[in-house]
């Protein structure tokens, strides 16, 4: 794996889990162009590494998961406005067509552009001290990109409330769980361990089955119901024979050591 300046990338080959750690705690893990480009590299590296079946996305430090775009470090858009790009495309595993399941672990503050990470994760958990808010309008900025993905998680009403109230609406962990922004709340000192437990449990499943499931579900969001169902049927016909073969093959493609079912 390559070395990085703003993130850490580690692979646990035994568990088949890769871990990306946002590593700018002194800047509240805000992203600049370097981090965006390094995230793109990391997603592509993980995509091409067949030993990786699932990913944990986490952040260094206690104060924040991410404060979004680093406003003190110019992102540097081209002079031609028609060549401007959304930073979220580089941060996004789905834009990179990386369909391995992503488990996101959120602690502390999560605001503004940080929702790019939340919106693109497959499983999101948080610590008890996590707070979510959208600071755009409080800074006089239009909130137009992150809410698109957020609506898919929490619906129109909750998205509008967060986008319009800005810094005055802080969504705590309990509310985040209630509205479906996260699926589990844990103690802060257990956050990383729990995220890795979830990722390792997913990674123990046949990777063709899990990646096909991620792709089918996410792609269905952009399609009418009947078209999504027809494409899903194609995916089952393509992936199921391979997935069942992986299950029969043993440790690298199956789950002989799966964790016991957990009720939450």
Place of tokens 């899990």: 210
The Cβ of residue 70 has, within 10 Å, a number of other Cβ atoms equal to 21
Bridge-based pairing state of the strands 184-186 and 123-127: parallel
Q: In a structure prediction context, what are the per-residue pLDDT tens digits for the chain, which is 264 residues long? A: 468 999 999 999 999 999 999 999 999 999 999 999 999 999 999 999 999 999 999 999 999 999 999 988 767 777 888 888 888 899 999 999 999 999 999 999 999 999 999 999 999 999 999 999 999 999 999 999 999 999 999 999 999 999 999 999 999 999 999 999 999 999 999 999 999 999 999 999 999 999 999 999 999 999 999 999 999 999 998 888 888 988 888 765 555 555 566 666
How much is the pLDDT for 221? 94
How much is the pLDDT for 18? 98
How much is the pLDDT for 258? 55
Give the whole-angstrom CA distance, residue 35 versus residue 87.
10
Q: Is the pTM of this model over 0.85?
A: yes
Closest Cα partner for 5 from 20, 29, 24, 28?
24
- Give, rounded to a whole angstrom, the gap between the first and last alpha carbons of the chain: 35
* DSSP string over 99-133: -S-EEEEE-BEEEGGGHHHHHH-SEEEEETT-EEE
Q: What angle do CA 21, 131, 181 make, to 5 degrees?
A: 80
- Span 219-261, pLDDT tens digits: 999 999 999 999 999 999 888 888 898 888 876 555 555 556 6
Strands (E), the chain: 7-12, 17-22, 54-59, 64-66, 102-106, 109-111, 123-127, 131-133, 171-172, 184-186
| φ, ψ at 260 (rounded to 5°) | -65, 150
Is residue 64 classed as helix, strand or coil in its secondary structure?
Answer: strand
Q: What is the CATH number that goes with domain 7-203?
A: 3.90.226.10
- Using a 10 angstrom Cβ sphere, with 0-12 exposed, 13-18 middle and 19 or more buried, the burial of residue 234 is exposed
How much is the pLDDT for 30? 96
């Amino acid at each position: 794996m390559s070395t990085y300046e703003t993130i850490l990338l580690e692979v646990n080959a035994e568990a088949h889990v890769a871990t990306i750690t946002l590593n700018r705690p002194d800047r509240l893990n805000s992203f600049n162009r370097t981090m965006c480009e390094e995230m793109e590299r990391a997603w592509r590296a993980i995509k091409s590494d067949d030993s990786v079946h699932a990913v944990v996305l986490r952040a260094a430090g206690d104060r924040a998961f991410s404060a979004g775009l680093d406003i003190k470090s110019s992102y540097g858009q081209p002079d031609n406005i028609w060549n401007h790009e959304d930073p979220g495309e580089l941060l996004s595993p789905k834009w990179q067509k990386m369909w391995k399941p992503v488990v996101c672990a959120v602690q502390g503050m999560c605001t503004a552009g940080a929702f790019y990470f939340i919106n693109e994760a497959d499983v999101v958990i948080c610590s008890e001290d996590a707070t979510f808010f959208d600071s755009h309008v409080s800074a006089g900025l239009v909130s137009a990109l992150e809410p698109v993905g957020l609506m898919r998680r929490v619906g129109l009403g909750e998205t509008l409330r967060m986008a319009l109230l800005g810094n005055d609406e802080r969504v705590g962990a309990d509310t985040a769980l209630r509205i479906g922004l996260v699926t589990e709340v844990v103690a802060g000192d257990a956050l990383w361990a729990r995220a890795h437990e979830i990722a390792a449990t997913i990674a123990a499943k046949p990777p063709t089955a899990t990646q096909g499931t991620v792709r089918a579900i996410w792609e269905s969001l952009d399609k009418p119901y009947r078209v999504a169902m027809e494409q899903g049927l194609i995916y089952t016909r393509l992936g199921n024979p391979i997935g069942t073969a992986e299950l029969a093959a043993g440790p690298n493609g199956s789950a002989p050591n799966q964790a016991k079912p957990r009720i939450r």
